[in-house]
């Protein structure tokens, strides 16, 4: 009997020791998180706080402390992101507006929710070549147009000497064809990811001779891309990038504002006091 009591006391002592060790370890993670938080290293802080929840699920006071610190981290991070996005937005908007001077805006209000921008020299284009347009959201489309004997192409490849980029083959609604008396008018539209870097390739080879080859049909057809089309694709490529940045920054601003609104009550703070003055 004495032996059983002795073993029981050892077990209790061991468990108490483990609990004490876990508490010490949890405090160490909390301290690391606090240090990272104060230095502005929010990702490291969050990793350490997540570790408290993962490694010590039964230490409720430690987890509550981790939650409180996590709210502080999220608030500071959201305020930082809001200030950064708000600072960058006017610059990206200015760059996009500067490029838009060379584009024409088109939108059928009855059928379309989002308008698009077409490089002015390509408005009404009806010839062999590459045409581009960019939506207000920064989504780019390249239309590969062909006129001549029936071809039935699906893929467009662009070459500069031995270097090239090629689209993914178009199918379904992306292909439109009209034929009359042996003459064929064929268009294949490519959007991301079908563009597959063709826009980037053209933009970075603006001054070089670019040969376009249409493939996937009865035969291949090649032609030299005009300087006007190279310019249009290049400007569309950069416009798409700027508009995507504008849209992303707008979303970042709204996301940060929402995060501040959600986190503040947990810290018993007024969200309006934490927002920059222009957002109150």
Q: Encode pLDDT of 136-155 as tens digits.
A: 999 999 999 999 999 999 99
| Positions of the chain with pLDDT lower than 70, given as ranges | 1-20
Whether this prediction's pTM lies above 0.75 is answered by yes
Q: Read out DSSP for 155-182?
A: EEEEEETTEEEEPPPP-GGGEEEEEETT
Cβ density class 23-34: b for 16+ within 10 Å, e for less:
eebbeebbebbb
**pLDDT 10s digits, 22-40:** 999 999 999 999 999 999 9
Task: Tell me what pLDDT residue 7 has.
Answer: 40
Separation CA 255–CA 266 (nearest Å): 18
């Amino acid at each position: 009997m004495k032996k059983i009591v002795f073993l029981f006391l050892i077990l209790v002592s061991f468990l108490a020791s483990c609990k004490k060790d876990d508490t010490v370890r949890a405090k160490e993670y909390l301290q690391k998180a606090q240090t990272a938080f104060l230095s502005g290293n929010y990702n490291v802080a969050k990793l350490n706080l997540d570790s408290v929840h993962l490694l010590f699920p039964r230490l409720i006071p430690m987890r509550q402390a981790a939650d409180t610190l996590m709210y502080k981290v999220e608030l500071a991070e959201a305020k930082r992101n809001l200030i950064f996005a708000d600072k960058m937005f006017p610059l990206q908007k200015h760059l996009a507006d500067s490029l838009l001077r060379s584009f024409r805006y088109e939108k059928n209000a009855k059928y379309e929710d989002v308008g698009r921008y077409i490089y002015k020299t390509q408005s009404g284009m009806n010839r062999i070549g590459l045409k581009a347009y960019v939506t207000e959201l920064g989504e780019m489309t390249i239309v590969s147009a062909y006129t001549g004997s029936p071809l039935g192409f699906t893929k467009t490849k662009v070459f500069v000497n031995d270097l090239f980029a090629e689209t993914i083959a178009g199918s379904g609604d992306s292909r439109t064809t009209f034929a009359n008396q042996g003459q064929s008018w064929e268009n294949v539209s490519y959007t991301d990811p079908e563009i597959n870097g063709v826009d980037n390739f053209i933009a970075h080879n603006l001054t070089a001779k670019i040969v376009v080859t249409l493939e996937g049909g009865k035969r291949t057809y090649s032609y030299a891309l005009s300087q006007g089309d190279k310019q249009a694709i290049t400007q569309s490529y950069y416009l798409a990038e700027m508009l995507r940045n504008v849209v992303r920054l707008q979303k970042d601003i709204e996301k940060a504002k929402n995060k501040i609104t959600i986190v503040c009550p947990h810290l018993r703070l007024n969200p309006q006091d934490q927002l920059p003055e222009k957002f109150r």
